[in-house]
Each structure stands twice: as structure tokens, then as C-alpha cells.
Amino acid sequence: MLAENSIKVMGSEERQVSIGRLCIGGKAPLAVIAGPCAVENEQMLRETARQVTQAGAQMIRGGAFKPRSSPYSFQGLGLPGLKILHRIGQEMRVPVVTEVLDSGDVDMVAEYADVLQVGARNMQNFALLRKLGTIDKPVILKRGLAATIEEWLLAAEYIMVGGNEKVILCERGIRTHEHWTRNTLDLSAVAVVKNRSNLPIIVDPSHATGHTHLVAPMARAAVAAGADGLMIEVHPCPEKAMSDGQQSLTPNQFQKLMTELSRVAAAVGRCDI
Amino acid sequence: MLAENSIKVMGSEERQVSIGRLCIGGKAPLAVIAGPCAVENEQMLRETARQVTQAGAQMIRGGAFKPRSSPYSFQGLGLPGLKILHRIGQEMRVPVVTEVLDSGDVDMVAEYADVLQVGARNMQNFALLRKLGTIDKPVILKRGLAATIEEWLLAAEYIMVGGNEKVILCERGIRTHEHWTRNTLDLSAVAVVKNRSNLPIIVDPSHATGHTHLVAPMARAAVAAGADGLMIEVHPCPEKAMSDGQQSLTPNQFQKLMTELSRVAAAVGRCDI
Amino acid sequence: MLAENSIKVMGSEERQVSIGRLCIGGKAPLAVIAGPCAVENEQMLRETARQVTQAGAQMIRGGAFKPRSSPYSFQGLGLPGLKILHRIGQEMRVPVVTEVLDSGDVDMVAEYADVLQVGARNMQNFALLRKLGTIDKPVILKRGLAATIEEWLLAAEYIMVGGNEKVILCERGIRTHEHWTRNTLDLSAVAVVKNRSNLPIIVDPSHATGHTHLVAPMARAAVAAGADGLMIEVHPCPEKAMSDGQQSLTPNQFQKLMTELSRVAAAVGRCDI
Amino acid sequence: MLAENSIKVMGSEERQVSIGRLCIGGKAPLAVIAGPCAVENEQMLRETARQVTQAGAQMIRGGAFKPRSSPYSFQGLGLPGLKILHRIGQEMRVPVVTEVLDSGDVDMVAEYADVLQVGARNMQNFALLRKLGTIDKPVILKRGLAATIEEWLLAAEYIMVGGNEKVILCERGIRTHEHWTRNTLDLSAVAVVKNRSNLPIIVDPSHATGHTHLVAPMARAAVAAGADGLMIEVHPCPEKAMSDGQQSLTPNQFQKLMTELSRVAAAVGRCDI
């Protein structure tokens, strides 16, 4: 299906995506995005942001609009959460990343976030992708739970065809029969994407594995496989998290991981973090 | 995850959804929706509609907004397609079903269609589901490619919690490793849904199998498994279809199938079509 | 992969497999094999066999060698179980079916059983398949949990290439992400097998679904899809079964099902049972 | 299912498996097994073995009995291949690994090989596993294509319960919907196995990915994830290989990979190779 006319994701020169002073992809240093699953309140986000940036994270993540399987689960703080995230980003002088769920929310979210994220469930929400193609902010496009890599690249093309070529792919696990992990992290997707497209790709080992103790080994493996960056859930007190606590690192665990990642990045010839 | 508070999809009395004079679910006769994958032009839709209603179809389907993996594939006629569909429905005096892709399009689509369909890729497009919860038209909710039945029921709950309880589930195959069929039609989902929820469920053997010669056996099997209805692609000239021709029946094949379905429906104690 | 030289499973004339006076495939009546998951003792098997044959089952099944995930689970009675099964078959004058796990056991099992079954886990146990190709007894070949239909047909070819062309395929569900059913019964495989090969195919809704209440709808659906037969677990007292009780029908439930199947078989033009 | 009585795979002390002077698991250096998919003739195996051992491989692999989907594909040289493998191992003074397909072949294969391998298709060939439990040679147990990690550990338990506790697990990819890789390498399985069992685990990136250019990144990732070793296909002339050439490295590519692996191993604190 991907043929000559799908030129944007397949052109030969490797793309780098700039986010302020930062750069993701190509020969740029490993980019690490960290923060809580959801923005719960200003104090927790500030504390988390302070600790993860001190440990070396270059961007802060935090969900304001949460796509939850059940309508009765915590749905995120919405606009107030977005404003908190924005404020913390300004204070810390780091870019902030958050998810957008609907084409109708893109303009609002783009006002507050530096990078907009499309979640796995929306990978083929084409109206959302097309709308994101019209803005001038980088987009992180997560892989769908049952998406082939080909479909994922075509979803990126939906954004790029509209004029926004700042697309970063994010592998976050696919759904299989294995039930001791939340999803199955497909690290071969990193190498395939590098081979078949010119887009940068990062990895989210937190959602992929669903268990704190699996995050560090999979983060190290992602870097060794050639990932351009990582997105990692960190919560000051995982057991009290309003969502996904069982897969969040503590700030201390995150700091330790950053040291390990630095060594692996160097071993595979990627500039230090 | 589905517990006491998820009362809408799990209440004990079996729901029937009314569409004009029609009824789907419970002890109602088998409901058959037929028509082309996409509305290509007025003449072909009128011709198809005439033939499938003569053969016994009670509703006409036809896509105006097509969710295609590639942005370079035919995307549907859009609003003009919607108007054609509406006109044909009026002429034939049958309800028409079409897909809506984005929360921002719901009001427009609801103006022209009698039933709105959520496609597999949008099963967890929660903004779309919530918007559909605010209108007063029936919604057909297709199962996601990698969705569990539990997630599917929770997606229905997203619509119903908003006040619109006219939800019809549609099994259309899940994605597996098998590549001789387009997807794997999970007919056990029909029996599971009947057991675990009070919602009506129909089956789409066309998208599920992806091959014309598999549509009839799977349609018969769906009825035998207890499905409340079927959605079947029919095209006057499948080899010239702008999308999904290889899985469309000709009007003649459809007519023959309707006779077979009538027999199977009677055999399992469902009122004749 | 299946090409001209794979002639045995693909030749144009539809094969029938004879088992004593019985026939499976082609235009033969629906063949129903019933019995407990495992032979637990002589009395329970005799009682079950009596009831299922009265209800119309033409063959008795019962496992003597059970392939269990854990070495600490009940492994079957072994040779004594085989002898019980044989004795009951003689008494009732019906053929008996049982599973063989290893090439080294084929001769022994063939001495006592009328039909040998290869389980899903052994679908590509090529030494076992080759050995079965040298005997003169029908073989039921179950589909592997992650096998494509193509691999399944090639596994059948392994048996047939050795000279034993009495192969019956059995669809028993594939493994997917859905966890409300034990496996996902792939009924489209029935229609695909009919289209791509000349072999008879039966369906096992008990192992596929894993739940008693799903067995009847899936059995009816299998017949409507064109299956040549069914294999159904029946236990006189499911809650006391040594294995798979939660998916076994009681003899009464089985009798009711047989009446339903008779109607569906007639509706799809298959001679009555 | 894995509970107190499954003590062998779950005891708290991490196991090391000795193969001659070599050791796999625990704090032992990374173990690398290399060689062609199949033993094709003595000269090619000698040449390959010479080159891979010079590059640092500690063991040689080569198939004599090949489990092929089609009975018409090359099935391996059989006993003569086994003898060639044995002779080369003696000459080079390195242990040799080969696959055994059937319980009836175990004694013969054990006579010539230092390590016996159970392939993915036979992971639940319980007769084979039980027989391997009675010999005094290490066994490499590959994960089944659709096996859960729990089932895989229980398969290991089948071997160990018989008295042979020298079991090494090998992750080789699971089957998913993704078709740009042969299988989906599940590296999280490495971390899960380390957490849930005491067994050593190695990774086969060649069969998992199916493409030469994906082998090196996945091999590096496996080491970063904590794998105790690797099994890598190397062929002197991949385009002429009798099987699996498209996933084989050349000796030069292998040598380059070994240098990379050495750096990654050091970065994650594993003794150099």
C-alpha cells in the first residue's frame, strides 16, 4: 500500500523534529519525556517535574484528557489540568507533552502544550489526524493496539499530507495473547521504522509492560534497538496514583534508570543524554 | 471492570432498538441491512437499494465518509454522498445507515441518516461516543479490531451514559494471525454479548471475511448463533467498486442468501424475516 | 506455499472419510462425536456413552492421554483408560475417538481406538504426523492455537503423503486477545477449508469457547457454516469432572442440542442426522 | 496455575547451566550460539564454525532434523547431518546445539549433540519434554508461537520434574498480526522470566525477525534487556542457504555484531563476552 506517492514518510533523508531547543531523531541525543500518567494537581506535577528534569528528562508529560475504557473511571482534569501543565512547563522551561482526544480540542490543546500526543486508540481517528496536519506543533503518534507498522506509517502520512511534517512515532506495545504484560512491546518496530521510513521513533515502556519492574529493562532495550527517545511514567507516589500507578517509576527509580540509559546510549554510539 | 454501576448495558431486560417501524433485538425478526461499501453515485445506489429491498433488506447502508488506511485512497463523497443516501432512503421509504467519523460531524450526519454507525477504528473515540450519547438516533457500534468484548460493552456505555440508549453492537471480525481471511469473525461474541449484556447485536460478515464466497456461510452461521441482524455489502458490479469490491455480493447473490437466511432463522426459532 | 505438488489436500473431488458404517464429509449426514474430556472410570464412560448415543451421537470420545499445561495436573488414565474406551465402544457398537500424543504411542493407541486424534499442541509434531501416515485408521487433526489455515492443510499433507488419506480437520479455536472465551472459534475456517481443500472438517465448540452456555450457539453456527460434524464434550456431572468441567454439557443439554442441530442441518440442506 | 508445587522453575536461587567449561545464566558472560539454520554439508559447516568461533561464538548450532511447514520442503540431512555437526564440534572443541523433533530420537541426538533444542512447534510436545527430563544434557526450550510465559515455564517444569534441571529458555518471537516481521520478538519476556523464574534465558533474533537487517538491533536490545545469551543464524552465503537465508548474517556481519554486543554487555554490567 505504501508506494511512490507516500513520499513524506518514506523520503530518504532522516528527519529530525525540533521542539524548542531540543531535537529528536537522526543523530540527536536520546530524548527522554517523563511525568505522571495524569495531571492530578499542581503540586504533584511541579514536584515530579522538578525531580525528573534534575535527573535529565528534557520534556514533561502529563494527561489532562484521559481516554479510559470505562466512562466511570477518572477522565482527567480537562482544561484546568492543561493549564497546570502549561504553567509548570513555563516555570521549568521545558516543553510539555499531552494527549488530545478529538479534532474539536486540537486548537485548545495546542494553545497550552508544546507537543500533542495521539493515543493508541485514536491512531486511525482520521479527522483528528487531519486536523493535526494543519497546526504547527510536533505530534507524537502512538501505534494502535492492533495496528501494523504499515498502517501506522500511513496514519503519520495523514498528518503530514496536511502540511505538518513534525511527526514522531511512539511504539507502546501491541495486544497479544500474553497476559503477564499489559501489552507486548514490539521493539523490532523500532528497527523496521528506521528501515522503512524517515521518521523519528520513541518508545513508551510504561504502557507497554504495565509493571514497574519491567520498565527499566525495556527502556534499556529500546535504546539498544536504536530508539530516538523514551516516554516514561514517573509518579511521586505510585501507589496513590489516580491512574496507572502500577507501571509508574518513583523519581528515585527514574534517576537510577537515567544513569543506566546513558551507558547504553553511549554503547550504541548515540551521543550522551 | 464492568460492575454494578455499569447498569445500562447490563440490566436484565433485553433491549430492543426501534428504527421507524422496524425493531432490532429481543424477539424481533432478523434485521438485514444491505448496500454498497461507499455511495459512489445516485444511480448505483438507487439500483442497489431497489434490488436489496425487493430481496428483503429492511435498511440501506452506504458510506459517505470512508475511513481508509491511506490518505491517498478514495475517501468517500462526503456531504453530497450523505444527501444521495438520504434521498434514496426517502424514495424507498427505508431507513438508511451511514458511518460518522468525528464528533464534529455528528449533527450533520444525524440530519441525513436514520442510524449512525461507529466504525471499528473509532470504537474507543470517546469524544465521538459521548457526542452520540446526546442525539436521539440509533447508533451501530462496531467492535474494534483488537477490542475485548468487555471494552466494547464499555464503549457502548459511553454512549448510553449520555442518555442515548439506542445502541446496537456489530461484530465485524478481530485481527489475528490468519491471513486467508481479512479478519477473524468472532461469532462467539454474539453469544457472549447475549449473556453479558442486554444489547442487540448484529454481524457484518463482509468486512470480517473480506471475500465474497465466505459471506453467505458466515451470514448463515451468525443467524444460527443468535445474531439479531446482519449488515451485508452488496454492489451491482463488485469488480468495479471503488472500495471493498472483493467482499461485495451481487444483488443476485444477495437474493439467494436471503432465502437461505430465512430458513436458518426459522430453524433457530426466530420469526421469519 | 501450497502449490501444485500439494495435490492430496487440494485435489478437486471432495473427500469422504469412512469410519465403519459411518461417513464424514461431502454429502454425508452431520457426524456428532460426544463424550467426556477424559475417561475417568468405566462406569461414567458407559453411562455417558449410553446417553449420548441415545441422543444421536454416532461416535464416542474420551481422552486416555491428556496433554495438560502443567505436569502436576491430571494426565489421564493412560493404557487402562484406552482399554475402557475400547470396551465401551464394543459394547455400544460405536466407533471411539481418542488423542495420541507421541509417535511412539501410535501403534498402541491404534490397537484400541477407531479414530486417532492429534491435538492442537501437536499440529506440527511432524514425527507424530508422519507416523500416522503409515497406519490405516482415520485421523482427526485439530488446528494449532496459532496455526494459519495454510499450515494446517500442510500438516494434513504430512499425514497423507505417507499413504493415509483418511484425514478429518477439526477447528477448535485460535488464541487471541479475547479473554471471555477460552479461545476464539474461527468458523470462517470451515468455509475456507471447503474452498481451498477437499478435506472434511468438523468443529469442537467445547474447547473453543470453554463455557457450557456458549457450546450450543456455536454448535448451531458451525452447522450453518457448513461443518461436516461436531465434537462435543458431555459429562454426566460436569461440576465433578477431572478436567474441563466448565465447558461440558450434561446429557440432557446434549439431547436438547441434538434436536436443535437437526433443524439447522435441515435448513442448510444437510441430510438429517 | 504456577503455584507452590512448581518449585523447580520458581525457586529463589538463580540457576546456571553448565555446558562443558561454559556457563549460561546468573552472572556468567553472555553466551553466543551461532551457525547455519541447517547443516548442509561438512565443508560449509566447518567454514562457518571457524569464522563464528573466531568472532567469539562459544557454541555452534546447526539443524539436522528440520521442522518444516510443508512435507515437500528440505527436511534436513538427518543422522548424517548430526554426525557432521558432532565432528565439527570435536575439531573446534566447542559444544554443538541441535534440534530434536521426537521423543524417539532423543537418545540418538543426545549421542552427538552437547545441547538439545526443542523448537517452538514442540514446546508442548509433552512426550518429548518428559523424555528430555531423563537425559543428562542441557536442553534449550524455545517458546511456542502462541504460548504464554506461564505455559512456557510449565513446559520447562515437564523436563525438570523428570530430573534434568539443565533447562535454558529461548525467546524466539510470538505470532501476531504484524507482517513486516516474521514473528514479534517479545523482549519483555526476558525480564518477566527473570522475575518469575530462576531459569537462564537466551534470545533468537534471527527466527524472531526473519530479516537480516533486523538481527543486529534486536540482538543488542536483547542483551540490554538482560538476556543471558543469543542464538544467531550465520551462513557463509545466505542467498544460497537451503533454508532461512533471508534471516542469516554473513560471517562478517556476525563479527561486527559481536563487537557491538560486547559494548552493550559491558554497559549493562554483564562481564564481557
Q: Which residue of A has its CA nearest to C146?
A: A177
Give, in degrees to the nearest 5, the angle at Cα D111 between D108 and D117. 75
Phi and psi at D63, nearest 5°, equal -90, 135
State residue A9 phi and psi, 5-degree precision.
Answer: -80, -10
Report yes or no: B246 and B211 within 8 Å, Cβ to Cβ: yes
Distance between CA atoms of D173 and D145, rounded to whole angstroms? Answer: 7
Predicted confidence at residue D271, as pLDDT, reads: 73
Residue D1's pLDDT band (boundaries 50, 70, 90)?
Answer: low
Contact by Cβ (8 Å): A24, A168 = yes
C152 touches C169 (CB < 8 A) = yes
Q: Which residue has the cell 537425559?
A: D135
Write the residue in C148, C214, C225 that is nearest to B192 by C-beta. Answer: C214
Q: Please, what is the average pLDDT of chain A?
A: 95
pTM for the predicted model, two decimal places: 0.96
Which grid coordinates are listed for D192? 518477566
Task: Indicate the DSSP class of residue A174.
Answer: B
Residue whose cell numbers read 548442509: D40
Contact call for D185 and A185, based on CB within 8 A = no
Distance from CA of C223 to the nearest CA of B (A): 7
Handedness of CA C221, C226, C231, C237 (dihedral sign): positive
| A-D Cβ pairs (cutoff 8 Å, strict) | 131
Chain A residues whose CB is inside 8 A of the D226 CB are 217
Check: CB of residue C248 under 8 Å from CB of residue C233. yes
User: In chain C, what are the domains?
Assistant: 30-267 (3.20.20.70)
Confidence check: pLDDT of B181 > 60: yes
> Which of B123, B125, B243 should be substituted to probe chain A, the one whose Cβ sees the most A Cβ atoms within 10 Å?
B125
Question: With 60 as the cut, is the pLDDT of residue B186 above it?
Answer: yes
D80–chain A nearest CA distance, Å: 36
pLDDT tens digits along D183-235: 999 999 999 999 999 999 999 999 999 999 999 999 999 999 999 999 999 99
Alpha-carbon span C148 to D67, nearest angstrom? 16
Q: How far is B208 from chain C (nearest CA, A)?
A: 9
The whole-number pLDDT of residue C244 equals: 85
Partnered with residue C230 across adjacent β-strands are: C32, C203
| Side chain identity at residue B136, one-letter code | D
Task: Considering only CA atoms, give the Rg of chain A.
Answer: 17
Please report the pLDDT score of residue B84 as a whole number.
98
Span of A97-101, B210-214, D11-15 with lowest mean pLDDT: D11-15
Mean pLDDT of B109-125: 98
Over 90: is that where the pLDDT of A243 sits?
no
pLDDT of residue B5: 56
| Cα R_g (chain D), whole angstroms | 17
Question: Is D224 within 8 Å of A217 when comparing Cβ atoms?
Answer: yes
Residue A78, Cβ neighbours under 10 Å: how many?
14
- Residues of chain C with Cβ-Cβ distance to D142 below 8 Å are none
Q: Tell me: pLDDT of A11 over 90.
A: no
Q: Do C146 and D175 touch (CB under 8 A)?
A: yes
Cell of A247: 507501571
Within 13 A of B85's CA, how many CA atoms are on the CB side?
A: 34
d(CA B213, CA B253) in angstroms, rounded, equals: 10
**Touching check for B176 and chain D: CB below 8 Å?**
yes
Give the Å distances, CA to CA, from A221 to A87, A256, D206, D264: 33, 16, 17, 10
Chain-chain contact of D179 with A225 (C-beta, under 8 angstroms) = no
SS (H, E, C) A194-218: HHHCCCCEEECHHHHHCCHHHHHHH
- Compare CB distances from C180 to B148, B218, B226 and report the shortest one's residue: B148
Tell me which of A177, A178, A182, A183 to substitute to probe the interface with C (most C C-beta atoms closer than 10 Å): A177
Question: What is the model's pLDDT at position D47?
Answer: 96
Nearest to B126 among A67, A151, A155 (CB): A67
Cβ-Cβ pairs closer than 8 A, B with C, add up to 132
The residue count of chain C comes to 273
HEC profile of chain D: CCCCCCHHHHCCCCCCEEECCEEECCCCCCEEEEECCECCCHHHHHHHHHHHHHCCCCEEECECCCCCCCCCCCCCCCHHHHHHHHHHHHHHCCCEEEECCCHHHHHHHHHHCCEEEECHHHCCCHHHHHHHCCCCCCEEEECCCCCCHHHHHHHHHHHHCCCCCCEEEEECCECCCCCCCCCECECHHHHHHHHHCCCCEEECHHHHHCCHHHHHHHHHHHHHHCCCEEEEEECCCHHHCCCCHHHCECHHHHHHHHHHHHHHHHHCCCCCC
Number of Cβ pairs closer than 8 Å across C and D? 91
Supply the pLDDT for residue A57.
98
The series of mean pLDDT values per 10 residues for chain C, 273 residues long, is 69 89 94 97 97 98 95 94 98 97 97 98 98 98 98 97 97 97 98 96 98 98 98 94 91 98 96 62
Q: In whole angstroms, what separates CA C87 from the centre of its chain?
A: 20
Answer for the pair A51, A57: CB distance below 8 angstroms, yes or no: no
Q: At residue B29, what is the residue type?
A: P
Residue numbers in B near C30 (CB within 8 A): none
Q: Which three cell numbers stand for residue D137?
A: 544434557
pLDDT per residue over A111-138, tens digit each?
999 999 999 999 999 999 999 999 999 9
> pLDDT at residue A82 above 80?
yes
Distance of residue B182 Cα from the nearest chain D Cα, in angstroms: 11
Nearest alpha-carbon partner for A229 in A255, A261, A192, A269: A261
- Give the model's pLDDT for residue C243: 86
| Alpha-carbon separation of residue A111 from A79, A85, A97 (angstroms) | 11, 12, 12
Give the cell for residue D166: 539443565
Closest-CA distance of chain A to residue B14, Å: 22
User: Over the stretch A166-176, which tens digit does the pLDDT of each residue have?
Assistant: 999 999 999 99
| The pLDDT value given to residue B65 | 96
Share of chain B above pLDDT 70, in %: 97
Which grid coordinates belong to D154?
Answer: 510449565
Q: Is A263 on the interface with C (CB under 8 A)?
A: no
| pLDDT band at residue B1 using 50, 70 and 90 as cut-offs | low
**Of residues C218, C226, C266, nearest to B267 (C-beta):** C266
pLDDT digits (tens, 9 = 90+) for A15-67: 999 998 899 999 999 999 999 999 999 999 999 999 999 999 999 999 999 99
Q: Return d(Cα B146, Cα D193) in angstroms, integer.
A: 26
Rounded to two decimals, the ipTM of the complex is: 0.96
**D162, burial (CB in 10 Å: exposed 0-12, middle 13-18, buried 19+):** middle
pLDDT in tens, D56-94: 999 999 999 999 999 999 999 999 999 999 999 999 999
Q: How far apart are CA A217 and CA A253, in angstroms?
A: 12
**Tens of pLDDT, residues B168-180:** 999 999 999 999 9
- Cβ–Cβ below 8 Å for D191 and A176: no
Question: C175 and chain A: CB distance < 8 Å anywhere?
Answer: yes
> What is the least distance, in Å, from the CA of A159 to any CA of chain B?
9
pLDDT tier for residue D244 given thresholds of 50, 70 and 90: confident
pLDDT, residue D3, reads: 58
B179 part of contact set with chain A, CB < 8 Å = no
Chain C residues lying within 8 Å of A177, measured CB to CB: 175-177
Contacts of residue C56, defined as CB under 8 A and 6 or more positions apart, other chains included, come to: C32, C258, C262, C273
Residue C213: enclosing H or E segment and its boundaries? helix C212-225
DSSP class of residue C167 equals E
- Between positions 134 and 163 of C, the ones with CB within 8 A of B are 146, 148-150
Residues of C in contact with A176 (CB under 8 A): 177
Of the pLDDT bands very low, low, confident and very high (cuts 50, 70, 90), residue D99 is very high
Indicate the residue of B70, B103, B158 with minimum beta-carbon distance to A71.
B158
Q: What is the pLDDT of residues D147-182, one digit of tens each?
A: 999 999 999 999 999 999 999 999 999 999 999 999
Task: Specify the pLDDT at position D17.
Answer: 96
Which chains share 3+ C-beta pairs under 8 angstroms with B?
Answer: A, C, D
Instruction: Give me the pLDDT at residue A6, please.
Output: 63
Task: List the one residue out of C67, A83, C192, A48 whose CA is nearest residue B212.
Answer: C192
- What is the per-residue pLDDT across C200-226, written as a single tens digit (0 to 9) for each? 999 999 999 999 999 999 999 999 999
Residue B69 sits at the chain D interface (C-beta within 8 Å): no
- CB–CB of C17/C221 below 8 Å? no
Chain A contact present for B254, CB below 8 A: no
Q: Which of B1, B187, B196 should be substituted to probe chain C, the one whose Cβ sees the most C Cβ atoms within 10 Å?
A: B187
Please tell me the distance from the alpha carbon of residue B41 to that of residue D178, in angstroms, as a whole number.
Answer: 36
pLDDT single digits (tens) D102-127: 999 999 999 999 999 999 999 999 99
Residues comprising chain A, all counted: 273
Averaged pLDDT for residues B71-89: 96
Residue B207 DSSP class: H
Pseudo-torsion of CA A129, A132, A134, A135, nearest 10°? -170
Q: Is A195 on the interface with D (CB under 8 A)?
A: yes
What is the grid cell recorded at A143? 501505534
**Partner-chain contact C148 B220, CB within 8 Å:** no
B157 phi, psi to nearest 5 deg? -60, -35
Nearest CA in chain D to A183: D188
